[in-house]
Amino acid sequence: MSQSHVIIIGGGIVGCACAHRLAETGWRVTLIERDTLGSGATAAGMGQVVALDDSPAEFALTADSQRRWHALGQANPLVHEYTPCGTIWVASDDEELAMAAAKVPNYHAAGLQAELLDAAALYRHEPNLRPGLPGGLRIAGDAVVYPSRSAAWLWQQTGGTLIHAQVSTIQAGGVTLADGRHLHADAVVLATGSRARDLVPALPIRPKKGHLVITDRYPGFIHHQVAEMGYVKNAHLADVDSVAFNVQPRATGQILIGSCRQYDIHTPEVDPVMLGQMLQRCLEFMPALATLSSLRVWTGYRAATPDGQPLIGPHPHQPGLWLATGHEGLGITTSLGTADLLAALMNHTPPAIDPTPYLPSRFFAPTSSLL
């Protein structure tokens, strides 16, 4: 029996995860990447695998994905540099601590570990936090991975064909490359992250620029991903420029320091003002960061959608075109859940979670125009 053939455009973590899952479920896969695998937002990201409960849709996809990363990481910890360090969400006042307490039952109901920390427990875990904080929330199942290597590894398992080229157009039954070649397939998956509008201009995707700093090696300086409770409000959900305290221990002993978000900036240069504001915010929570030596700063782009959820599923008006983009600041985490959902939809098999909140059709009117 001949296999169905899918072309996946974009070899970031999302495209590679989709390739992996589709190959597992019987598709012949061709991946087209204009650069190297895992070099876009995937290389720029922090690599935190995080279950976030800020909306039911976000929680369903991140919790499902966190479990998938756990299985992948436990099976192959060296490849993925899978480090199950957990996250501590730091409350800056009693109101945020009450918010943290209210989240505990949500995580437990989803079968995930969550522990409310009082001040003493907080400082036992992370002594470098500034004095006077009331506590926090510890999500033990969160982890850190090395996204670019995971992307390449996921792709290597597929046995598919990798073409290094730029796709210039998508049409029914295939794509055209910038060098003029036409490639045919039964299905095309668009997984080009923040560049999705280059090929499908009507998609509601806006780039959100971020900066990250990496330090020299300081093993034991922090033990968890440590972020402020206000991170989601200040970062994920904000539609104006924002900064938030968010630091991560790498397997090398280095510390990744973030984060900030800027809308509609298309130049990759480091913005010293934004960088300064980001570092200032981090120093407010962890003054000892000022004693560390930083090695490098870089920027990258998240693909933001108006409702903060990714686009996973069929394009409602272009038969044969499937979308896997718009993952904003959670695409490393949600890549595995995305791939499973997309494959279930393409294979007409039951999905692990309800796909409705992520279907691209939510942004399209019943006719062909966008809402």
Ligand X SMILES: Cc1cc2nc3c(=O)[nH]c(=O)nc-3n(C[C@H](O)[C@H](O)[C@H](O)COP(=O)(O)OP(=O)(O)OC[C@H]3O[C@@H](n4cnc5c(N)ncnc54)[C@H](O)[C@@H]3O)c2cc1C
Positions in the binding site for ligand X (CB under 6 A): 9-15, 32-35, 39-42, 44-48, 166-167, 191-195, 198-199, 210, 212, 258, 300-302, 325, 327, 329-333
Place of tokens 């978000």: 261
Residues whose CB is less than 8 angstroms from the CB of residue 29 and which lie 6 or more positions away in sequence, other chains included: 5, 6, 8, 19, 22, 23, 158, 160, 161
Nearest by Cα to 360 from 280, 306, 288? 306
Of 97 and 185, CB closest to ligand X: 185
Of 32 and 129, CB closest to ligand X: 32
Of 97 and 304, CB closest to ligand X: 304
Of 97 and 195, CB closest to ligand X: 195
Q: How far is the CB of 366 from ligand X (least distance, A)?
A: 28
Q: How far is the CB of 119 from ligand X (least distance, A)?
A: 26
Of 97 and 154, CB closest to ligand X: 154
Nearest by Cα to 279 from 209, 214, 207? 214
Q: How far is the CB of 134 from ligand X (least distance, A)?
A: 25
The rounded distance, in Å, linking the Cα atoms of 272 and 277 is 9
Element at 180 (helix H, strand E): none
- Report how many helices (DSSP H) and strands (DSSP E) the chain contains, helices first: 11, 19
Give the residues across from 28 on adjacent strands: 5
Q: How far is the CB of 203 from ligand X (least distance, A)?
A: 13
Q: How far is the CB of 306 from ligand X (least distance, A)?
A: 16
Q: How far is the CB of 329 from ligand X (least distance, A)?
A: 5
Burial of residue 366 (number of CB atoms within 10 Å: 0-12, 13-18, 19+): exposed
The rounded distance, in Å, linking the Cα atoms of 164 and 194 is 19
DSSP 8-class letter at 115: E
**DSSP-assigned states of every residue in 77-90:** HHHHT-B---EEEE
Of 135 and 337, CB closest to ligand X: 337
